[in-house]
């Protein structure tokens, strides 16, 4: 794994281009982040971001919906993206030779979509179906409710929106939202793969340089500061248990210590949660923990899926393991976690879509982008002593707990 160079350019209109050439790659991938996610949707119009995103592909520039689809398919483009909490993202992966044409199509999709009124009902129906599917996916519903509980303000919103918000949307809302939030200030375009920097920068200037405007500012996250327990009664054959607790933000000096401690909890079949809850005691069919982040805040999400007669014991054991983490980790646990994280770094370096998405996210969350070699060096610098210092200052605590199933549980103190 060689230390590739990261290129960065901020255009006069506030759009930032960040790129990483990957040698010997015939493929390229891009991710465009627009600050147009659920965070800044108008009150009463929750779900608007996903509808605008969907309609943007139903004709743009000089192409109607069919012609646009054909043009994208003719490039062999593998599309990605969608409405999220902080951003709406547009992305794709394809042969590097076709990247300039793909960027031109996406300039039309983002800047000049038709947003046809006769397609609004179809897009609304799709959004309502996805929202309704939460009832058939209790683990996904759990995370939506857990984030809503942990972040009482805008950061608790779901990009899926609400039934009331989606049903209230008009084509005027869609058009006004595109005009208000699809703006270049704060947008990030990340590209990785077989690219040359100067031609790429010039092409982006040509396609996006005359784009103007500033979207609404993103609010700062505000999480609960005391322990919370919330139960949603549902007569199901499984009990869903979710726990969130605060961790350091991605730009904090202890970020790698935090990430590795979470991997000690949940970094494979040898990690603590899998070993202690599933393998030793057979308490659950699924258990994991994951570090997650928004701008200026990090948190750890823990999940347990189990049967109702084992749910209280599962929660008790999960909380005991989270509190035990503050006592420190062993050298074997650290090395196992380090190996897992380094393997993930290597795999990211082999995938142009993964790398484009990562550098876009990293620039947004940290304000700069690290090369893969810089990440590897930072992971290797973590020691047992630095992890213990981190856990002494930032132990798992002040837990937000949400459960879904037949009967409330008791959160151990």
Residues 267-273 have a mean pLDDT of 90
Residue 2, pLDDT score: 44
Please, which pLDDT band fits residue 1 given cuts at 50, 70 and 90? very low
pLDDT digits (tens, 9 = 90+) for 162-203: 999 999 999 999 999 999 999 999 999 999 999 999 999 999
What tokens were used for 263? 């991997």
Nearest to 138 by CA among 407, 410, 403: 403
pLDDT digits (tens, 9 = 90+) for 350-368: 899 999 999 999 999 999 9
pLDDT at 140 over 80: yes
Please, which pLDDT band fits residue 132 given cuts at 50, 70 and 90? very high
What tokens were used for 126? 């799709």
Give the CA count within 13 Å in the CB-facing half-sphere of 116. 12
Percent of the chain with pLDDT over 90: 92
CB of 411 within 8 A of CB of 397? no
CB of 151 within 8 A of CB of 86? no
Residue 347, pLDDT score: 86
* Count of C-beta atoms within a 10 Å radius of residue 213: 13
CA-to-CA distance for 342 and 372, rounded, in angstroms?
10
CA-to-CA distance for 19 and 304, rounded, in angstroms?
38
pLDDT at 346 over 90: no
Q: Which residues pair with 88 in a beta bridge?
A: 34, 83
pLDDT digits (tens, 9 = 90+) for 226-261: 999 999 999 888 999 999 999 999 999 999 999 999
Residue 25, pLDDT score: 78
**Starting at the edge strand that comes first in sequence, how are the strands of the sheet with 78-83 ordered?**
7-10, 16-21, 188-193, 27-34, 88-95, 78-83
Please name each of the domains of the chain with its CATH number: 7-208 (3.30.830.10), 228-405 (3.30.830.10)
Residue 350, pLDDT score: 84
CA-to-CA distance for 207 and 105, rounded, in angstroms?
10
Please, which pLDDT band fits residue 269 given cuts at 50, 70 and 90? confident
Nearest to 401 by CA among 220, 240, 266: 240
Cβ within 8 Å of residue 209, ≥6 positions away: 11, 12, 13
Residue 169, pLDDT score: 97
pLDDT digits (tens, 9 = 90+) for 212-221: 999 999 999 9
How high is the mean pLDDT of the chain? Answer: 95
């Amino acid at each position: 794994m060689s230390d590739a160079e990261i290129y960065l350019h901020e255009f006069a209109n506030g759009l930032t281009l960040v790129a990483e050439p990957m040698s010997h790659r015939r493929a390229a991938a891009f991710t465009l982040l627009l600050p147009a996610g659920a965070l800044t949707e108008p009150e009463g119009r929750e779900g608007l971001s996903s509808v605008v995103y969907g309609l943007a592909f139903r004709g743009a520039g000089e192409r109607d919906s069919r012609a646009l689809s054909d043009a994208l398919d003719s490039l062999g483009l593998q599309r990605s993206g969608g409405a999220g909490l902080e951003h709406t993202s547009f992305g794709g992966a394809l042969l590097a030779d076709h990247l300039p044409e793909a960027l031109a199509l996406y300039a039309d999709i983002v800047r000049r979509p038709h947003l046809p009124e006769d397609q609004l009902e179809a897009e609304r129906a799709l959004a309502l179906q996805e929202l309704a599917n939460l009832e058939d996916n209790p683990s996904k519903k759990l995370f939506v409710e857990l984030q809503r509980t942990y972040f009482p303000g805008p950061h608790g919103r779901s990009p899926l929106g609400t039934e009331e918000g989606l049903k209230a949307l008009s084509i005027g809302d869609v058009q006004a939202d595109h005009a208000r939030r699809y703006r270049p200030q704060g947008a990030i375009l990340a590209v990785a793969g077989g690219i040359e920097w100067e031609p790429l920068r010039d092409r982006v200037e040509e396609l996006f340089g005359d784009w103007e405007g500033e979207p609404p500012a993103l609010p700062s996250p505000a999480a609960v500061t005391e322990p919370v327990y919330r139960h949603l009664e549902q007569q199901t054959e499984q009990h869903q248990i979710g726990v969130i607790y605060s961790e350091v933000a991605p730009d904090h000096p202890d970020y790698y210590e935090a990430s590795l401690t979470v991997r000690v909890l949940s970094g494979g079949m040898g990690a603590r949660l899998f070993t202690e809850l599933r393998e030793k005691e057979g308490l659950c069919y699924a258990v994991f923990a994951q570090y997650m982040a928004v701008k200026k805040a990090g948190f750890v999400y823990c999940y347990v899926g189990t049967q109702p007669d084992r749910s209280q014991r599962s929660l008790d054991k999960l909380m005991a393991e989270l509190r035990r983490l503050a006592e420190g980790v062993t050298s074997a646990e650290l090395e196992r976690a380090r190996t897992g994280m380094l393997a993930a770094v290597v795999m990211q370096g082999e995938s142009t879509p993964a790398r484009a998405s990562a550098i876009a996210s990293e620039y947004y969350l940290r304000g700069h982008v690290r090369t893969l070699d810089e990440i590897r060096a930072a992971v290797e610098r973590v020691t047992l002593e630095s992890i213990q210092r981190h856990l002494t200052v930032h132990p798992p605590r002040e837990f937000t707990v949400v459960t879904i199933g037949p009967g409330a549980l008791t959160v151990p103190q």
